[in-house]
Amino acid sequence: MRAYDPGHDLPALREAFGASLAELGSNENPQGPSPRALKAMRAALAGAFRYPDPRGTLLKRALAEHLKVGTERIVLGNGSHELLMLLAQSFADARHSVAFSRFGFAVFPIAAAAAGAAALCVPALPRGDAGAPFGHDLDAITTAIRRDTRIVYLANPNNPTGTWFTDAALERFLERAPRDVLVVVDEAYQEYVEAPGLTTALGFAARFPNLVVTRTFSKAYALAGMRIGYLVAHPTVVEVLERLRESFNVNHIALAGAAEALRDKPWLAKARAFNRAEREWLRGELLERGFRCLPSQTNFLLCVLAHKADALERHLFERGVIVRPMGGYGLPRALRIGVGSRVENRRLLRAMDSFGQAGRR
Ligand SMILES: *Cc1c(COP(=O)(O)O)cnc(C)c1O
């Protein structure tokens, strides 16, 4: 295994560029957290000398009400990353395999490797596919499932491709998947979703006890720095995960901030509307400049160039615009660009305009 590549040295770049840095590389929400969540976190600071509630009771209650599920179905995590790892650690070992799509979320193969399980990396939909180029091929994943497969990881919508599949497609997948295989649907961007036929996998939880849904407060809720996420699963699955979960994995301030962020529904509605408008504006601007950008239900765009993207990425970097190169994902011609504030997005476009025609399609 190789260590996580954190990309550029952001603290050094913040020092060098100051307020003119455009950080579009990590799919964060540039609006920052809800003021109500910030206030709750400030108030919680005074309790920092106590251990946090190891059960996370208050947040679980708020989530249970929000999601219309019982608290016994919820596990809280230090980001959903931790939960994705915990799932493999708890349910797979060297006798098993774990399946996921090529171009799927980067944590999936790491979770499989950390558990010592074999990784079944299933080819994605062809790049020319009209609906979801580079997206999950659910039929191929169904076929790839072996007798030793314990977990299938799906991301919907997926990072870095931004591709998604409908509720109906997931239902068909769940109907065909063996019941002793955990189907983990990573819904990190669910709060942004509004495509026809796509809502959430949670609607299938009652019918499929092998379904696990993970979510995060890092994206739409703008709490990436607090490290907090959750999953919803059958109580018997939760019971197993609880054996290996670190007792104080979620800190006190994150618990307070997440619960209040959840209650501030008007703020979330505004954040979604801002992201939608800004994303579509940015996508239009990029398309106009000849870049091919996949449709997106998230707060980022995957842009595919006619040539390798590293020269453009370098050009942007030198101008204080941070985007994510996709070479590590096997997409050397693509860049993943987070939807920033209007000021950041304009800075991105300006930096792109000063790049020669050579990198364009
Ligand atoms: C950002 C992201 C996560 C979330 O990570 P956290 O650990 O909750 O910050 C999970 N899955 C996908 C697909 C993501 O893009």
Residues 229 and 348 in one domain: no
Torsion of CA 6, 9, 14, 15, to 10 degrees: 160
Residues 193 and 115 in one domain: yes
As a whole number, mean pLDDT of residues 9-29 equals: 93
DSSP codes joined into one string, 131-172 = S-TT---HHHHHHH--TTEEEEEEESS-TTT-----HHHHHH
- Which of 220, 245, 263 is the last residue before a domain boundary? 263
**Closest ligand 1 atom, CA of 218?**
9
Q: How far is CA 189 from the centre of its chain?
A: 6
Residues 214 and 273 in one domain: no
pLDDT tens per residue, range 234-287: 999 999 999 999 999 999 999 999 999 999 999 999 999 999 999 999 999 999
Whole-number average pLDDT of the chain: 95
Atom 12 in ligand 1: residue holding the nearest Cα: 188
Burial, 35: exposed, middle or buried (Cβ in 10 Å; 0-12, 13-18, 19+)? exposed
pLDDT at 4: 81
Residues 21 and 131 in one domain: no
Q: Which of 30, 19, 23, 20 is nearest to 8 (CA)?
A: 23
Tokens of 348: 């991105």
pLDDT at 360: 52
Q: What is the band of 192 on the pLDDT scale with cuts at 50, 70, 90?
A: very high
Instruction: Among 165, 218, 339, say which to mutate for ligand 1: greatest number of ligand atoms within 8 Å of CB.
Output: 218
Q: Which of 215, 262, 250, 257 is nearest to 53 (CA)?
A: 250
In this structure, what CATH number is given to the domain that contains residue 308? 3.90.1150.10
- Which of 263, 287, 311 is the last residue before a domain boundary? 263
324 belongs to a structural domain: yes
pLDDT at 1: 84
Instruction: Among 28, 100, 216, 336, say which to mutate for ligand 1: greatest number of ligand atoms within 8 Å of CB.
Output: 216
* Domain limits for position 218: 35-263
Residues 272 and 144 in one domain: no
Verify whether ligand 1 is closer than 6 Å to residue 226 (CB atom): no
- Which of 223, 248, 263 is the last residue before a domain boundary? 263
Residues 118 and 230 in one domain: yes
**Closest ligand 1 atom, CA of 158?**
13
* Phi, psi torsion values for 47, nearest 5 degrees: -95, 15
CA-to-CA dists, residue 228 to 31, 140, 159, angstroms: 18, 32, 18
Torsion of CA 349, 353, 359, 361, to 10 degrees: 80
More confident residue, 360 or 267: 267
Verify whether ligand 1 is closer than 6 Å to residue 186 (CB atom): yes
Residues 18 and 64 in one domain: no
Where helices occur in 222-335 by DSSP H, the ranges are 235-244, 252-263, 265-288, 310-318
2 belongs to a structural domain: no
Residues 303 and 245 in one domain: no
Residues 104 and 70 in one domain: yes
Decide if pLDDT at 359 tops 50. Answer: no
Distance 26 CA to ligand 1 centre (A): 10
Decide if pLDDT at 70 tops 60. Answer: yes
Verify whether ligand 1 is closer than 6 Å to residue 163 (CB atom): no
Decide if 232 contacts 69 (C-beta within 8 A): yes
Distance 222 CA to ligand 1 centre (A): 12
pLDDT tens per residue, range 108-131: 999 999 999 999 999 999 987 777
In this structure, what CATH number is given to the domain that contains residue 257? 3.40.640.10
Query: Pairing mode, if any, of strands 118-122 and 97-101?
Result: parallel
Distance CA 122, CA 18 (A): 42
pLDDT tens per residue, range 28-63: 999 999 999 999 999 999 999 999 999 999 999 999
236 belongs to a structural domain: yes
Residues 223 and 286 in one domain: no
Percent of the chain at pLDDT exceeding 90? 91
pLDDT at 128: 75
Atom 14 in ligand 1: residue holding the nearest Cα: 188
Distance 323 CA to ligand 1 centre (A): 17
231 belongs to a structural domain: yes
More confident residue, 167 or 329: 167
pLDDT at 358: 46
Residues 18 and 43 in one domain: no
Number of domains in the chain: 2
pTM greater than 0.95 (yes/no):
yes
Distance 80 CA to ligand 1 centre (A): 6
Could you identify the residue written with the tokens 């109907």? 175
